[in-house]
Amino acid sequence: MIDFKFLEQIPTLEKGRQGFDLWLIDFEPSEMLSLFSTVLVNEERVAAARYLSAERTGLAIASRATLRLLLSLYLQKHPLEIEILHNEYQKPMLNPSDQLYFNVSHSADQILVGISRHTPIGVDIESMRTDTDWKNIAKHYSSPAEYEMLNSAEDPKFFFYQLWTAKEAFMKGYGTGFHFPLNQFTIEYSDSLCGKVTSLVPLSPDHWQIQNFQLSDSCMGAVAVPGELESIHATRLSTQTIKKIAASWNLV
């Protein structure tokens, strides 16, 4: 069970703290354009502007600006001096010398950032929409074992979202995104919300563990790491708190 604690001030990070951090930020896409475009490097601003809707542009700005501001707390570096690289599958990542891993997911009005000091991490949030053709998605993207579990689940739609976020969190943590076929590995649950990745051929599963969490009645989340998923610190921040971090660097 992951419980997000609401924090109103700039977080202080204890030195040497172990475990994984999850940051959930509630935001207004319309506010983000004006508030945070100063927190992006030029190429990120250009990439965000390419989206056709102002809402999607706001989301791209919010996501990258929030990420830079949170990372500035860990790295004690100016947000604009943080170098964000991409792997061949477009996974954003830090320079190995920073010794810090992160992953981001967003829905229409929330951003989830997972940060880890020792191992890669993957996160995903999905709104459990009523109009999604989840049965069809499940048919194509579940492994045979998962499809069987889904058909015998008490609440198949809920289980679908649990499985989907878990699979996506793993693929994002692993770094390949949807480039690796999602039906070629299985999330095996040991209790209702904790599981591990199995049957992964030809990739090595590295003992990836998964933890699901429900953010609201209509929003499911998952975090995945290679190893034990212990000591998860989960914090919920408002846009105003993110703005305070930007102000501390004289960026707003």
Ligand X SMILES: CC(C)(COP(=O)(O)OP(=O)(O)OC[C@H]1O[C@@H](n2cnc3c(N)ncnc32)[C@H](O)[C@@H]1OP(=O)(O)O)[C@@H](O)C(=O)NCCC(=O)NCCS
Could you list the residues that contact ligand X (CB under 6 A)?
60, 63-64, 89-92, 103-106, 124, 168, 172, 175, 177-179
Q: Which is nearer to ligand X, 108 or 152 (CB)?
A: 108
Q: At what angle do helices 144-152 and 134-141 cross, to 10 degrees?
A: 150
Measure the CA–CA gap between 6 and 9, rounded to whole angstroms: 10
Q: Report the relative pairing of strands 186-189 and 194-198 from DSSP bridges.
A: antiparallel
Q: Which is nearer to ligand X, 30 or 190 (CB)?
A: 30
Measure the CA–CA gap between 3 and 232, rounded to whole angstroms: 9
Least distance to ligand X, CB of residue 60, Å: 5
Of 164, 140, 139, residue with least CA distance to 222: 164
Least distance to ligand X, CB of residue 178, Å: 3
Least distance to ligand X, CB of residue 244, Å: 22
Least distance to ligand X, CB of residue 86, Å: 8
Least distance to ligand X, CB of residue 16, Å: 27
Is 42 exposed, middle or buried, given 0-12, 13-18 or 19+ CB atoms closer than 10 A? exposed
Omega of the bond prior to 92 within 30 degrees of 0, cis?
no
Q: Which is nearer to ligand X, 46 or 148 (CB)?
A: 46
Least distance to ligand X, CB of residue 172, Å: 4
> What φ, ψ does residue 246 adopt, rounded to 5°?
-60, -40
Q: Which is nearer to ligand X, 57 or 63 (CB)?
A: 63
| Under 8 Å between Cβ of 224 and 12 | no
Q: Which is nearer to ligand X, 220 or 251 (CB)?
A: 220
Q: Which is nearer to ligand X, 158 or 178 (CB)?
A: 178
With CB atoms as reference, the residue minimizing the distance to ligand X is 177
Measure the CA–CA gap between 111 and 28, rounded to whole angstroms: 11
Of 44, 66, 6, residue with least CA distance to 239: 66
